[in-house]
Structure 1
Amino acid sequence: MDINQTVYKLCTQNKDLRDFLISKGFNNLSSDTMFNTMAKMIKLKDALKLKNIDAEIFQEEYKSFSSKVIENENFENKDSKYTIEGAVPCPIRVPLMESLKDFSSGKDIDIDFDLRSANLGMDFVFDKFKNKKKLPDLITTAGFELILDDKIYEEVKKSYTDCNIPINDDFIKRGVDLKDPEGIFHILGIVPA
């Protein structure tokens, strides 16, 4: 990777680099507006200097990150028993994919998943609702997209139910009730911001 090129150019050449940069603290890249302006003006080497990140270590960590994403992403197993699709925040995406792969390996459970970075949106899942295609067994989202479209929300209410897994006790002790009163949605992870 030529770190003398702009962040924008490198991210367009390496589809998971933007996610990796966001996971390394470049949170402003999650905004398409910032990405399409700022990333075109700064070289990767300069961006790394701003965060005091060693370029050589960064490249090694990125190689490891990139190989894990490619290895885990978008399985095309037509005989999968369970399917999971949706968007997840960058810091959760790779650990969740690794956990799914670890959970299913060595067991009689096949999991086919397509988990994309939250900044890419949910259109690929919404198309299944709109085109009446087979829906995934579990849908993840990093926001409120599933409840903003009335037709999709009604289909979600009809087709899905919360798995009734207890939520982190620390939240409950602080009086934060994160349980969906309608029993449709469940929180898998939280990114404190």
Structure 2
Amino acid sequence: MQTMRIDPDATLYEITENWPETVPVFTRQGFPQMAEEDLRRSFGSRISLRQALALKNLDLDGFVEQLEATIEPEATVAVGVAPTRVVGLLPCPVRIPLLEAFEPFIEDYQRSTGCKVEYELQAASMGAAWIDENLKHVSREEDLPELFISAGFETFFDPKGLGRFRDAFYDGLPYKTFNSSFDGVDLRDPEGRYSVISVVPAVFMVNMNELGDQPVPQSWEDLLDPRFEQRVSLPVGDFDLFSAILIEIHRRYGEDAVRRLGRSLATSMHPSQMIKLGRKSSAPIVTIMPYFFTRMAKEGGPMKAVWPSDGAIISPIFLLARKSAATQVQPIIDFFASKEIAEILAHKGLFPSTRPDVDNRLDSGSTFGWPGWEFIRQQDVASLIERCQQLFDEGRES
């Protein structure tokens, strides 16, 4: 049986919150207030176990022995040790299967290590506003969660945001080479700070009815042609992917290209809505969307998926791990980098995995567009995104 670690200097409230089954032990030994939740919180949070037993002249070792005898082995969690915090946004299409795998893993992790984990893994649809709300008050490294997972650009590289803590992170991925799907793509952080476990690729869904006799657009450069003005639906509401598209178009083709992209905007709708519009005359010719949504198109229907010949622009899914918490957090990194999770991402979500032994099931020639780490390090990414948004709006309003 694993030795339990009840810290004598933990408060009564901490102990009973972690192990509610210990409440009767306290009430039997002269602490009746511990039976009522409000009193347990007000009284128990102000006094440690050591102090409480000294007031009652009770033997500390004997009392701890009674408490430990009451606790079920599988409920063992260290008290008096700060919990490991895991926070972030999971891709909507795979959030449920990821949580179904994560929750039993965390239960086993807590049971085997005695370390408590607090986690909040929301759907990616919560967006940048949720990230900002949860991280805007962070001013010190120790206030950061031990592990953060999400796609994103601005949040992670903004020198006024998480970017100012970049020296606090470490790349703990257990594999040293990336999946061959990413050959030629500068995706692994050469400075060893940011981990990339997967990517969200942006592809084209072409409405063949609306296209008519025109050539099918094959590249991002094709979409900048005047024939597509006000005929393209862009994922403006998907801040991570939209920012990735703006940055890469700017890097490749310059400021005027971002304006032309703005002029191409017909509408901004959820990809599933654009699929349903496929048969209507008001539908855009091209919808730019995450690769996942291409599977919603009906076979034989008017919507044709096109993987850009010059690479699907990607928004990486990052793990940001605090190196000061490497001992506690490494097993959790190993979980998110495992083959089980990689296959959920790649097969159920169509989010290609960086893990080398996973089949991403991509057609030959499916390449990616990513500005590269050297470019990112040289930029104030938040300012660049702001500038790109300004250029895009200029084009849209012209």
Higher relative contact order (CA 8 A, sep 6+): 2
Q: TM-score, normalised by structure 1?
A: 0.48
- Bigger strand fraction: 2
TM-score scaled to structure 2, two decimals?
0.26
